[in-house]
Amino acid sequence: MRAGPLSNSEVIQTLNEKFINTWVTLRELPELIEGAKGERVSLFARSTKDYYVYPVDIQVLSPEAVVIMHQPESKFPDQNRAQGYLMLLEYTLAEKPLLESDDLSSLRKQLMEVSNTFRTPRAGYQDYTPIEIDTTPFEHGGTLIIDIEVGEGEATGSFDLYDADVELPTEGFPHDALASVWDIPPRVTGQIIYRFKHGQRFKLGATGNWFCKEGSTNTFIARVSVVPAETEEGEAS
pLDDT in tens, 1-34: 666 788 888 889 989 998 999 989 888 989 999 9
Spatial distance between the Cα atoms of 189 and 165, rounded to a whole number of angstroms: 27
Q: Taking 50 as the threshold, does the pLDDT of residue 100 lie above it?
A: no
Ramachandran quadrant class, 194 (left: phi over 0; alpha: psi -120 to 50; beta: rest):
beta
Q: How many CA atoms lie within 13 A of 7 on its CB side?
A: 6
**Given pLDDT bands bounded at 50, 70 and 90, which one contains residue 122?**
very high
> In 3D, which of 60, 52, 55 has the Cα closest to residue 18?
60
Higher pLDDT, 127 or 53: 127
Query: 90 Cβ partners below 8 Å, 6+ apart?
Result: 195
Q: Taking 70 as the threshold, does the pLDDT of residue 216 lie above it?
A: yes
Residues of the chain with CATH 2.60.120.380: 104-228
Sheet (strand 201-208) strand order: 129-134, 201-208, 157-163, 179-184
Name the pairing type of β-strands 142-150 and 217-228.
antiparallel
Full-model pTM:
0.59
How many percent of the chain have pLDDT more than 70? 87
Task: Note the CATH number of domain 104-228.
Answer: 2.60.120.380
Spatial distance between the Cα atoms of 177 and 112, rounded to a whole number of angstroms: 21
CA dihedral (14, 19, 21, 27) positive or negative: negative
Give me the pLDDT at residue 106, please.
59
Spatial distance between the Cα atoms of 25 and 165, rounded to a whole number of angstroms: 46
Higher pLDDT, 205 or 174: 205
